[in-house]
Amino acid sequence: MRTPSGAGGPARRATLSRDRVLRGAIAYADVNGIESLSMRGLAQELGVVPMALYKHVVNKEDLLDGMIEVVVGEIDQAQGTGQWKHDVRQRILAAHKSLLFHPWARAVLESRSSMTPAMLDYLDSLTGLFLAGGLSVDLTHHVMHTLGNRMWGFSQELFAATPKSDTESLNTQRNALPRQRPHLAEIAKAAAHADPSSTVGPGCDDQFEFEFALDLILDGVDTLHARHWSSARPTTTASD
Amino acid sequence: MRTPSGAGGPARRATLSRDRVLRGAIAYADVNGIESLSMRGLAQELGVVPMALYKHVVNKEDLLDGMIEVVVGEIDQAQGTGQWKHDVRQRILAAHKSLLFHPWARAVLESRSSMTPAMLDYLDSLTGLFLAGGLSVDLTHHVMHTLGNRMWGFSQELFAATPKSDTESLNTQRNALPRQRPHLAEIAKAAAHADPSSTVGPGCDDQFEFEFALDLILDGVDTLHARHWSSARPTTTASD
DNA sequence: ATTGACAAGTGTACACCGTACACCTAGATT
DNA sequence: AATCTAGGTGTACGGTGTACACTTGTCAAT
């Protein structure tokens, strides 16, 4: 609650902030690679002593979470056209673009053990596009798994946002989910209903999801094959 | 070239070997998690001093590569039935099973910057199944990208096996590829021909591959949607 | 049996990492 | 002026990977 003069402060010396730490870390990783991002190195880059960072970030894990949060939060959110396939496509390509912009983002994102708020928001909005397009909750559920594995590697831990045994945060999240992420909540409810054996936790049959995605791809390829599909790359003549 | 008595040696004391180090590391990671696998911890587990490991493994990266090599090499290689879709499905599920057996395998595999021989062999055999099924080289190429992203996260670096600037190993690999991995070589050749701008390197349009996979999924979902597809989970009555 | 070579296990040491903890300090609040 | 407090500092500890020099155990050849 400081911010010396609101806007355009000179910010001499250090004057860190969580945002500056996160942005600094992102820039550092963009330039030097994520593997050489260290608390010490980042501190030096920011003209500060290493321990100063810990006033804005609980530890390195939190730093990485924050970096992902920023990147995912920057995913372009275009207005929908109402055609679900187009809108979904656009949204996913936007995510892909943001992740490609930071080469380290995908690996870091996949190394997180639970979803950050921005990730959940993104997934929720994507889910909403399918549902708005009239797809069943069931089908939407499975295609989210399929796509999720593609956009980033969450897959089986979509709804298992409780890494170890943090039952308190789990309950907090269960209560907060429906009102904040309505579309995800709808899917989670349906999945829990279909498989009552796991009232808490994923409620998803990982093997089923994997095979669903696999068969979707194989059947799609089969169709293309039957149609004598060809990619017709730009440098190739289309006469053949 | 030691191996005291060929088979069934008592192996008192330490008597390491690359294989024992690798197996030990795999067991250690299976039990304690990959994040707590350290050279020191592994050495202690093997009843040996840390630096002893370095006589069988060039560094920790090499250790991780070796672990992946073992796991991928253990993927079940069933006889094909001649039906490409079935055979591909079977092969991929076998890979999935092996990776699931070692929870750390997927993350480690995706953290590798280049393909290990066993990975290349697996991909080559998979490619061969598509080609044997009559799919075009073109279509096979793209579906390999699509599936690759699913089985593990190689995607864009399939043919970019040269992480930094190791031109010598690149040349070695380029010469060795055709005779050892004929199916991959065929795809690589076709891709390089279609895009002559990059005589060395990927030769693949990452964005195209991503969109190909995305559209394959979206079109497949569209089809399922039109058919009023439902997953019909076991606990659900099929009457509805 | 002695020697010598060589593969393999050892011990020490170093640079780097994340971060706990006590401290100081400058600005705001009272 | 006294106090509080958010935030930057300094030191220190235990952990990591691994370079380098060493000892040792095993074999082939003498």
Q: Which of residues 42-61 of B touch strand D (CB under 7 A)?
A: 50-51, 54, 59-61
pLDDT category at B197 given cuts 50, 70, 90 is low
- Domain-embedded: residue A106: yes
- Domain-embedded: residue A234: no
Residue A238: how many other CB atoms lie within 10 Å = 8
- Domain-embedded: residue A173: yes
Max mean pLDDT among A18-22, A212-216, B104-108 falls in A18-22
Question: CATH number, domain at A153?
Answer: 1.10.357
Choose among A93, A147, A233: nearest Cβ to B195: A233
- Domain-embedded: residue A136: yes
- Domain-embedded: residue B214: yes
B85 touches strand D (CB under 7 A): no
Q: Over 80: is that where the pLDDT of A139 sits?
A: yes
Residue in A closest to B106 by C-alpha: A153
Q: Which residue is nearest to nucleotide D16 (CA to C1')?
A: B38
Provide, as residue numbers in chain A, all residues whose Cβ is less than 8 Å from the Cβ of B212: 231
B189 touches chain A (CB under 8 A): no
Provide, as residue numbers in chain A, all residues whose Cβ is less than 8 Å from the Cβ of B236: 194
Check residue A161 and give its pLDDT.
Answer: 36
Cα–Cα distance for residue pair B74/A152, rounded to 1 Å = 26
Cα–Cα distance for residue pair B240/B228, rounded to 1 Å = 12
Q: Over 90: is that where the pLDDT of B106 sits?
A: no
Q: Over 60: is that where the pLDDT of A83 sits?
A: yes
Check residue A151 and give its pLDDT.
Answer: 58
Check residue B150 and give its pLDDT.
Answer: 62
Interchain CB contacts (distance < 8 Å): A and B: 125
Higher-scoring residue by pLDDT: A71, B213? A71
Check residue B174 and give its pLDDT.
Answer: 52
Q: DSSP letter at A213?
A: H
B222 touches chain A (CB under 8 A): yes
Higher-scoring residue by pLDDT: A206, B43? B43
Q: Over 80: is that where the pLDDT of B5 sits?
A: no
Contact A225 B89 (CB under 8 A): no
> A3 to chain B, minimum CA–CA distance in Å?
39
Max mean pLDDT among A18-32, A176-190, B76-90, B126-140 falls in A18-32
Q: DSSP letter at B234?
A: T
Using one digit for the tens of pLDDT, what is the confidence trace for B145-171? 777 666 554 333 333 333 333 444 444
Using one digit for the tens of pLDDT, what is the confidence trace for A86-112? 998 898 888 888 888 998 998 898 888
- Domain-embedded: residue B106: yes
pLDDT category at B217 given cuts 50, 70, 90 is confident
The overall average pLDDT reported for chain A is: 77
> Helices in chain B by DSSP H: which ranges?
18-32, 39-45, 60-73, 84-101, 105-111, 117-132, 137-151, 167-180, 182-194, 206-226
Using one digit for the tens of pLDDT, what is the confidence trace for B9-51? 333 345 899 999 999 999 999 999 999 999 999 999 999 999 9
Burial of A13 (0-12, 13-18, 19+ CB in 10 A): exposed
- Domain-embedded: residue A89: yes
Choose among B135, B224, B235: nearest Cβ to A195: B235
Domain total of chain A: 1
Domain residues for the domain of B203 are 80-226
Using one digit for the tens of pLDDT, what is the confidence trace for A148-171? 666 554 333 333 333 333 444 444
Higher-scoring residue by pLDDT: B163, B105? B105
Residue A36: how many other CB atoms lie within 10 Å = 10
Handedness of CA A176, A182, A184, A189 (dihedral sign): positive
Max mean pLDDT among A78-82, A204-208, B5-9, B228-232 falls in A78-82
